[in-house]
Every structure is written in C-alpha cells, then in structure tokens.
Structure 1
C-alpha cells in the first residue's frame, strides 16, 4: 500500500511540475526562477474587467473570475484584477497594459485583440415587451420603437431593415427596463438574465411584461495580441475543455448561478449542451 501511495504522490508531483513549466513558459519566465529562494515573486496575469456584480465582483469573486481562477492556478501565478469602465478596460489590453479582457460580446469585437475560441458564457437575448404587445416575427417591429444599450449592434440580428423601425440607445439596462415599463419603448432588447436581475434589484414589477425569444449570443474572453496573450489564449481554451470534461464547470455554474444568486437549471442545461456540441466538433 505504501508503494502504491508513493507512486500516486510521485505522479501528482510530476503533473504539478509539468504545470509549473507550462505556465512559466507561457509567461516567458524561467521555471528555475520560481524555485530559486532568491525569487519568491510569482508571475502575474493581469485582468481588466468591468464590475459586473455576481460575475466580476470587487473582492475577486464571481462566476467569470472563478472560472479563470480554476484555469490559472493561483498557487503558481498571481491574478491581478483591475475593475474599470468598459472602454478603458478593453483599451488597456489593446495597448498591452493588461493581458486579459472580460468579457466581450461577439457583436463588439475589437480588431486589436485576439479572442478565445471557447466562450466563457452564453446568453439569451430576448425581446422584452408588454403582454399587450403582439409579436409574431421581425415584421412586428415595423413602426415600433426598439431600445437597446448603446454600443450593442443588435440591428445585425434583426431581419427587418432599420428604416422600418425607430431605435433608441439607452445608457444601461436599468434605463431600458424603466422606459419599457413606463411605455416609452415598445421593445427593449437585452439579455434575459440581465433584465430579470435589474428588475429584481430595483424592485421593478415586470409581471405584466413578457420575454419573447430573440437570439443567442456568446461572451468571449479577449487577450492581448502579443506572445503572452496568444499563449494565454491557448491555455484558456484547453482549460475550459478540462473544466467541462471533469464536471467542474457544471459545479461552478450551480454554485454561482447563471444569474447571480439565481440557479436557473434550464439555462445551465442550455450552456452545458452548448459546450458539449462545441467540444464534440473538435
């Protein structure tokens, strides 16, 4: 039994050494420097993100940060997380001040960044409207006022030409929900999770309003375009596959919820099914 235990521990040790060599290679740091008693500083991965409660919290917790911490072992590296406005966060990675940008919509990609092949999350973009507003297809938007957050390019997903409807760009989800419930918009287009969470947090009654399924969107991780960023992207993509195959990703989703503090089993199943199909193609 002691011989077997020795072999198991030795195998674990070798795997750990291999991980150290891999990640230090990615960070362009000599593995020897980590073991040197004169150098106790761990290499760092610098992450820039917007503060999204429940996803990227100020204390370093949240769904997205938990996923990254599960991929990049904090025993080996330091994850330096900076919270800042969206444009500044993305710009800091574009200009190589930081390594990773969380998160990017597929509709707003920057040509100055490289993006993960595997999304960190997927979301349902729905048409939020009054129960009295009839919707059948995109032609129902004709002559109506549609709202969505400034910067999103949802018009690319609407088959009806923009000239057939009016568009109002709101500053944030809260403004959109308020305008819709006050009758100032006919439709507010956004992620169903975000609308529900915003209404809940601001005590806005939406029981007389409904969600019509719109389209699915993926959320990507952006990386700096230098050598370090390209190698971190490889490690992220491989890490996501490992999290999924080991069942750890499912555990993380059920722990944090796809909507902060709300466990939506149907949406979790949708996300896991998406990853299953994605990985089966590779």
Structure 2
C-alpha cells in the first residue's frame, strides 16, 4: 500500500476523477475517507485495521467516518478535487498538493520478490537490478540508485514476468507480495528480501478543513497511542505494532 511522488501523473488523476460522481463532499458532522481495498486494512465493507483506527480517531470527536473504496490513484484525485477529506495509506510527502499530519498510523514493510536462484540484493544494491512495481508507487524515489525499472498497471502475471526473465525483482509492500506468492503452488522457488519500512499516513486535502482535520487526527492518535488503544487495535487484527511509542 503506499507510493512516492507522482506529480507528473496528477493531471491524469484529475481527468479520471472528473468523471466520478460516486464520492460526494462531506456533510457537517462527518469525515469522508477513501482508500484502495487492502485485505485486513481497508476492506470495502468498512472493516479493517486502518478503518478502525480512523473511527477511533474521529468518532469520539463527533465526526462520523464515511468510507469509500476506489483504486489508489483515483482516491488521491478525489481528495485533491475536494470530493473526499483524506485518502489512506500514503507515504510522507508523496503528493506535494496534499496536506500531511505529523503522526503515522502504521508502517509498510517494503520487500523485493524474486527467484530464489538469484543472489539476494540489499537495500543498497537493489537499484542495480531490473525492477517492476505497480504504477504510481514510484519506489525509485525511496530506494537508492535505481537504474532500471518498469511500472505495471495491475498485480497480475507478476510471477510469470519473473519466471520469464522480464524483471529480476518485484517491489511492493509485504502484504501485497504475500498475496502474489499465494498464487503459486511452488513458493519455495522465490525469495522475499526486506528493503525498508515506510510510515503510513492519511493524505488530507490542503485546505482549511483539511488542515483542521489533520490537527485533530494528530492529537487523537497521540492519545490513542498513550492509552494503549492503538496497540489494542493492532492486536485485534493480528497485526504487528510497528510504531514506536512516544
């Protein structure tokens, strides 16, 4: 889940979102959040760790959380156009036109998936390999000295690309790589190499309302961390708590 700077694609994002009518501006007393569907994190039915965290943040402050599911890039466009208050699962500073809070609600372990027959890269050497990742995630801005990479539109056919030598490694969040590996009956043919940990944030609209919501989010998240409520939500969903306590 997550991504780096995509400013060159913002025009395309806004064009796509101009045709969307499903997400409407928030009404008084509610905060409208949008996200790609990630299993156990932001499910389409409103369940998931991230949705539970956002409800724990905003609902005690009198704001009903309204969730909406869209592909990641479309989610960003909805926020930039004022059709939603924030999107979920952003990396810090990913979109210059958005407003980011100070506190991360989770962290994304980023890994590389490749054939076990290849020598394992490190974070410092991964940039020398031929890499693929989903369009918009722009890991070339997060990994050092990336030289050869290709962006793909969907997480389909990745194992075939690796098997046929079209790329050396596929880079993504651990949860997404695990989903890709689940498609194979011979998982032992592949290796998963840890690369880095990226904190996750909601990306708010850069407006007075967006900045006010971000301030509320920061204040409430610190309270949830201090009283143990945040850690309890991670335990509820069987997820490792990757945030250092203040």
1:88 aligned onto 2:66:
no
SS at match of 2:157: helix
Match of 1:147 in 2: 132
SS in 2 for 1:51: coil
* Cα gap change, 1:87 to 1:161, in 2 (>3 Å): closer
SS of corresponding position for 1:55? coil
Q: Aligned in 2, Cα 1:136/1:44: closer, same or farther, shift over 3 Å?
A: closer
| Counterpart in the other structure of 1:112 | 97
Supply the distance in 2 between the matched residues of 1:150 and 1:182 (Cα, whole angstroms). 21
> Following the alignment from structure 2 to structure 1, what is the Cα–Cα distance between the partners of residues 181 and 192?
13
Deviations 1:4-59 (A, max 9, x none): xxxxxxxxxxxxxxxxxxxxxxxxxxxxxxxxxxxxx9711111222223211122
Can you give the 5+ residue segments of structure 1 that lack an aligned partner in the other structure? 1-40, 259-267
Q: Specify the alignment match of 1:103 in structure 2.
A: 89
Comparing both chains, which one has the higher relative contact order based on Cα–Cα distances under 8 Å and sequence gaps of 6 or more?
2
2:33–2:65 Cα contact (<8 Å) kept: yes
1:254 aligns with 2:235: yes
What does residue 193 of structure 1 align with?
A: 175
Deviation string 1:225-279 (CA, Å, 9 cap, x unpaired) is 2222111111111111111111111111121133xxxxxxxxx25x0xx332xx2
1:134·1:140 contact (CA, 8 Å) conserved in 2? no
Calculate the TM-score normalised by the size of structure 2. 0.78
| 2:49 alignment counterpart | 63
CA distance in 2: counterparts of 1:232 and 1:214, whole angstroms: 32
Match of 1:217 in 2: 198
Q: 1: distance between equivalents of 2:189 and 2:137?
A: 26
Inter-partner Cα distance in structure 1 for 2:36 and 2:191: 29
Give the one of 149, 167, 175 matched to 1:167: 149
Deviation at 1:139, TM superposition (A): 4.3
Q: CA deviation at 1:74?
A: 6.5
- 2:108 paired with 1:123: yes
| Separation in structure 2 between the aligned mates of residue 242 and residue 217 of structure 1, nearest angstrom | 22
Distance 1:235 1:141, change over 3 A: closer
For these two proteins, the number of residue pairs brought into alignment is 219
Measured on the aligned residues, the alpha-carbon RMSD in Å equals 2.5
Flag the structure with larger Rg. Answer: 1
* Equivalent residues in 2 for 1:16-35, closer than 5 Å: none
Structure 2: give runs of 5+ residues left out of the alignment: 1-26
Note if 1:275 corresponds to 2:227: no
Which has more helix, going by share of residues? 1
- Aligned-pair distance for 1:106? 3.5
Residue 36 of structure 2 is aligned to residue 50 of structure 1: yes
Tell me how far apart the structure 1 counterparts of residues 110 and 103 of structure 2 sit (CA, whole Å): 19
TM-score, structure 1 as length reference: 0.69
